[in-house]
Amino acid sequence: MSENKMEEIGRIKLDLTHYPGEDYYCDGDTEDELLDIARNYAQVEYQRLIEERKSWPILYHLSQQRENIVEWLPITKDMKVLEVGSGCGAITGALARKAGEVTCIDLSLKRSRINAYRHMDADNVTIHVGNFQDVEPDLCRDYDFICLIGVFEYAQAYIDSESPYEDFLNSIKKHIKTDGHIVIAIENKFGLKYWAGCKEDHLGTYFSSLENYPDGGVVRTFTADGLRRIARQCGYERPQMYYPYPDYKFMTCLYSDERLPKVGELSTNLRNFDRDRLQLFDEKKVFDTIIQEDRFSLFSNSYMMVLGPEFDVKYVKYSNDRAPEFCIRTVLKVNETDKFIEKHPLCKEAWEHIQKTANAYNRLAVRYAGSGLSVNRCELKEAEHPYLRLEYVEGKTLEELMDACLARNDTQGFQRLFDEYLKRICVGEEADIADYDLIFSNIIVPDEINNTWNVIDCEWSFERPVETKQIAFRAVYCYLMEDDKRNTLNLDLILEKLKMDQSEAEQYRKQEMKFQKYVTGRKMSMAEMRDNIGYPIYTVEAFCEGQAAADRKDRLQVYEDTGRGFNEEQSFFLDEPGGEQVYVTPEGMTVLELPVARGRSALRVDPCSRPCMIYIREIKWNGAPLTFKGKQIAVNGFKIGDNTYVFPTADPNITVSLAGLPDEENNLLQLSMEVTGLPEETVKHIRKRGLL
């Protein structure tokens, strides 16, 4: 036990009564880096640091999107919350802002200090450091919410019994109010991403949860039915199931049995931030099939199980990958008598956006009166934080109807819908209010298309006239971008209807890119962060090419620039070492002797297709050595010594500019180098240390 029972960091209290004196788990250098950030940087700087450092642990622990999983919960300032397994504080801040009192428990002192430093201004948080079983007897018995976010799967690691999950839940249950809630977020052992080729989140091995953890270990995840069985054994007969998408860690949407995803909605599926993965099939298309077969609950990547009185929230969508002034939460609520939509600002900067949206709804309703378009009713609620309440409109979207036409090759039906769309949106074109986001998914069409169509989202409206053809082109552009199955659509015919040429279309595309940057504030998307971190995706096609394709990672590839830049069409693989153009000396030096025809402006040599370290002894052009000074030679690696470079990429390359060099009818490039492959763990360590 620790002799020093309490520690204070800012206004946060750390209770060390049950701390055993050492951290039994630790991520080493990663936690040192996180502690440094928490101590020395403000939270407003976290996004920049995430983008700059290109590190999965930094993204995972510090991303604001981690808070989404609890931000929507109906927690108020008169409530007490218990967070078990608080770690580095990914959700503690959201709970502290919402609740009157927050109690945290975590095994690690270093992680608890990280949590405390990043939230040190919160005066309503106490962190107990120690094992749950040791801390549990000291806990209150009147919590309104108990949150187990990414914790329940570890129960058998710290509950020593024959039924650790039931015993853990029963132990937790003693500390909740009669009308309180226990919230569990956990991966689904049958999550579609695992079938598609993602490694299991905890073990980092392929298919281990699908195979029911054949190698043992302490972690166990469950299907929805498995979670329900545990809940019922603990006295909860009607557990409420939610389905976070893409997963609970970086949730953007939360579905429920009352509002399941629709075909086409689930398109953000490349979830391999922390390690490489296979891609055995297109998850979006398989999700569409699963949705059509009504099996989504079985294959959702994550679950959120709520135990306690039923919530009226049935669907949540977060738009907080934007600039702060546009960050909102959209919620579907269902009670005994009504369904309605709410839009809430997620920060003070977004209040004005909510108010402007309310004004736009009212003005657009006037513009489209009698047009065949009806803007659904909207009311601005002046609560502690203003929010919008909108009527909920049932029916199919125009997008769904258009997709159905394309699926059955009904070109005339598609054109009829598009013509009707144009006729309705052009009304009042000269007005100084325009809905720029009249995309097909934002329009609900009743059973008869001649009836009134309902506009359900006017968030992106501008107080100026916007040409109908620009709005319509954007709708078509977004429609095509969202699903490659729609590429059968004849875009030339659409442009003809809009009386647009290709140059005007290109201008509108550029305007759309500017609009997206305006909305995001140039914040890097999650997809861009995944690419930034750089773990590869291996497709079935690559494996089907056979062993020869796999062996190519050690083959040398050359690109020639003939004035069109480097491209695969003007590249070739050279013979394996031992051939005439590439050979290996007894000292292990790889030597390239490459004949080059006249008229090349640059050459690029890719020594292999894996992370490596390369010592370049010399490069000669027609027998004359080339200098490494200036711009004659460029590499995409990092210099660590004389002519020695580290390449933390699967695409290392050396580029030789031929500008200013003698250009004969037949030239010769000579390159001698020593190539040493780098293990994945070495590359990770170098990245963590910030040496690159």
pLDDT of residue 4: 56
Which residues are 373's β-sheet partners?
453
Q: What is the pLDDT of residues 268-310, one digit of tens each?
A: 898 789 889 999 999 999 999 999 999 999 999 999 999 999 9
**pLDDT above 60 (res 501):** yes
Q: Please, which pLDDT band fits residue 157 given cuts at 50, 70 and 90?
A: confident
Measured CA to CA, the distance from residue 231 to residue 184 in angstroms comes to 11
Compute the Cα dihedral for 89, 93, 95, 100 and give only its sign: positive
Number of C-alpha atoms within 13 angstroms, CB side, residue 220? 16
> Which whole number is the average pLDDT over 428-441?
95
Cα 194 → chain centroid: 16
Q: Is the pLDDT of residue 688 over 70?
A: no
Rounded Cα distance, 189 and 208, in Å = 9
Query: What is the predicted pLDDT for the residue at 692?
Result: 46
Once rounded to an integer, what is the mean pLDDT over residues 125-131? 96
Average pLDDT of the chain, as a whole number: 91
* Mean pLDDT, residues 406-422 taken together: 94
Q: Give the start-end residues of each E strand in 21-167.
A: 80-84, 101-106, 125-129, 143-149
User: Does residue 520 register a pLDDT over 60?
Assistant: yes
Residue 535 in tokens: 């773990």
Q: Is the pLDDT of residue 2 over 60?
A: no
Q: Which of 341-355, 490-504, 542-556 has the highest mean pLDDT?
A: 341-355
Residue 251 confidence (pLDDT): 97
Of the pLDDT bands very low, low, confident and very high (cuts 50, 70, 90), residue 536 is confident
Side chain identity at residue 325, one-letter code: E
Give the pLDDT band of residue 502 (cuts 50, 70, 90).
Answer: confident
- Is the predicted pLDDT of residue 531 greater than 70, yes or no? yes
- Region 90-116: mean pLDDT is 97
Q: What average pLDDT does range 308-320 have in this prediction?
A: 97
Which CA distances in Å does 636 have to 87, 129, 407, 611, 652? 37, 45, 45, 11, 6
Tell whether omega for the bond before 611 is within 30 degrees of 0, i.e. cis. Answer: no
DSSP class of 445 = E
pTM, rounded to two decimals: 0.78
More confident residue, 531 or 690: 531
Mean pLDDT of 340-349: 95
> What's CA 457's distance to the chain center, in Å?
24
Mean pLDDT of 361-370: 93
What share of the chain has pLDDT > 90, as a percent? 70
What is the per-residue pLDDT across 172-190, written as a single tens digit (0 to 9) for each? 999 999 999 999 999 999 9
Q: Does residue 8 sit in helix, strand or coil?
A: strand
